[in-house]
Every structure is written in C-alpha cells, then in structure tokens.
Amino acid sequence: MTSEYRHTPVLLAECLEQLELKTQHTFLDCTLGFAGHSFEAAKRLGPEGLLLGIDQDEVALAAAAERLASIPEGERPAVELLRGNFGDMDELLVAARVPGVDAILFDLGVSSVQIDTASRGFSFKENGPLDMRMDPGTQTLTAAEIVNTYNAADLTRIIRGFSDEKWASRIADFIVRAREQAPIESSEALVDVIKAAIPASARRAGGHPAKRTFQALRIEVNSELTVLRRGLDAAVRWLNPGGRLAVISYHSLEDRIVKDTFASLANRCTCPPDLPVCMCGREPVLDIITRKPVLPSPEEVARNPRARSAKLRVARKR
C-alpha cells in the first residue's frame, strides 16, 4: 500500500470503547476510507461478526479491502464494502440485505488522502484544479463552477454560512472581480484572491486565510450538511435496540447537527412544558451517552495535528 493511503484514525481508542463491539455484532463504518477504525473494529467482531463499510471513493475501497484482508482468516469477520454515499444508507443496506446493525461510526470531514492529493482540489496548501468532489465519478458540481458562476450574494451566503468567515462579503466581491479578468480554475489562483481580499492585519492570526473559504466550498460542492442529516436519520433507523451510534465531527456546523439530532431523538415529547403529563405519546428513541463531546488528548494532537478539532458524540438506541 502506498504511503498516499496511510491514514491515522482519530480518537480510535475512544471510539472502540464507546461502541462496545462484541463478537457476532454487525458494525457499519459509514466513512470507511483506508479502514483505520474498521481494521481495529474487525478484530473485536471476530469470525462470526459482520463488518460493513461505505465509501464513495473506489480507490479507498480497494485500499480498505486489501488492509482488512490482511487480518488472519480465522480472526476476520465477514466483510462487505459498499460504494456510495452514507446519505443513501437505506438503499445501500437494503441492497446488501442487512437486517439491522449493532454499532455505527461516522468519521466526518475530508480524509487525509483527499487533502494530500493535490489533483482532488481540497487543499489550499497544494496547487491543483478547483474540484473538491468526494465522488468525481457521479458528481457534476465542482468548486470551480461555484467560484466562477455564483453571484456575489450566493458566494457570501455560502462562505459566511458554512464557515463563519468574517470577510465573506469582501472575499465574494474579490472573486467576482477577479473572474471578470480570467476564470479562477486552480486552488492557487483562489488562494491569491482570498489573500488579496483579507486585510494584511487580519491575515497574521487565525491560521491560513483560505482555510474557511475552502471549507465552505467543499461543503457546498458535496451538500455535506444535508447528507449528514439524512445519514444520521437512517443510522438511527438501522440500529438494533441497544445499538450504539458514534460520530466524530470536525467543525461546529457538523457538531451542532449531531448534537441537535441526538437531543431531539432523546426527548421527543412535543407537549407544552407546563403540561404536567405527556399527552403526545412520543417516546424517546435514543439515550445520549456523551453529555459532553469526547476530545482528543494532547498526546494525540501532538502525534496527529488533524485531530485537534475532533469531537466525538455517542448515543444508544432504546
């Protein structure tokens, strides 16, 4: 396996502890990648368990299959890898004839593989085409199309709404002006426009000036927040009673969706708060296991800086 597809799983020990995997369990990794989490999970499932993995990237699926196959046959669970988006979980699991799942993991955001591959266009540090599609084989909308065709108001909405960028309006205006001279087609060209838009005094703090804008474009290209809501709803439906759902998020928008979804399903009563007895009959679906998110240790962040913003939330189905 090339170093390009090596990936350090975030909060690995914490995920395994919280998922409470046992032999004969069915485990679903909704963001399989290079099977960083699944490789260790498989060892806990044993030969009578079932490991399911979902990923949009054919190369990642092949890499994961190779890695999982390295587990000795007598210790390895049955493995079924599904190509697709976890937002389409219902269709994928129906096609796989899965009756139910005992533990589900989402590790959100962009994988190290995608970030480090310049041709995918996710990185603001490496020059490449403005693409940012998680699944180039089926998706048509690219970051280049957004940057070169959306009007200033829509660009402002996306950049501010998906990244809380203070200079969103100014960045949008600079993009519109720059593309009048020539299309903005590379990550390097977009970074230059963003740097020009943000005053020098503001660029000296808060990390790379293009980080927030690139995050916002990636979310828009892949409809990430809509897909996340759909995936979480499906995951709860597929969990067996007592099954656990673990989600690692990397920015506040994702974490808020996870937190709100868990809270709404843990307290489904819609009766007025002053009503002494519940009349709606809506029973809770989940128990929240982590009242506060689990964070990576300083040691993990030192080993893997990309873990710095990770937050793990866990719930159990009733």
Q: Are 170 and 161 in contact (CB under 8 A)?
A: no
Pair (218, 267) in one structural domain = no
Q: Are residues 141 and 73 in the same domain?
A: no
Q: What is the pLDDT of residue 58?
A: 87
What is the count of structural domains for the chain?
2
Q: Look at 59-63, 256-260, 292-296 and tell me which has the smallest mean pLDDT.
A: 59-63
pLDDT value of position 263? 96
Mind giving me the DSSP string for 268-290?
---S-TT-SS--S-----EEES-
The 3-state DSSP class for residue 213 equals: helix
Which of 30-39, 101-110, 117-126, 228-237 shows the lowest per-residue confidence on average (mean pLDDT)? 117-126
Out of 201, 222, 243, pick the residue that ends a domain: 222
Q: Are residues 34 and 69 in the same domain?
A: yes
Q: Which residues pair with 79 in a beta bridge?
A: 51
Instruction: Mark which of 222, 255, 282 sits at the end of a domain.
Output: 222
89 and 21 in one domain? yes
Instruction: Tell whether 114 is in a known binding site.
Output: yes
pLDDT higher than 90, residue 154: yes
State pLDDT tens for residues 65-122. Answer: 999 999 999 999 999 999 999 999 999 999 999 999 999 999 997 766 666 676 677 8
Please give the residue range of the domain that contains residue 22.
3-113+224-317
Task: State how far Cα 304 lies from the chain centre.
Answer: 17
Inform me whether the pLDDT recorded for 5 exceeds 70: no
Q: Are residues 242 and 195 in the same domain?
A: no
Instruction: Tell whether 41 is in a known binding site.
Output: no
CATH number for position 197: 1.10.150.170
What does the pLDDT average to over 113-142? 83
Residue 277 pLDDT: 84
Q: Any binding-site annotation on 55? A: yes
Domain finish residue from 170, 197, 222: 222
For the chain, the average pLDDT equals 93
Whether the per-residue pLDDT at 4 is higher than 80: the answer is no
In this structure, the answer to whether residues 218 and 229 fall within a common structural domain is no
Find out whether 192 is annotated in a ligand binding site: no
CA 173 to chain centre: 30
Confidence of residue 49 (pLDDT cuts 50, 70, 90): very high
pTM over 0.85: yes
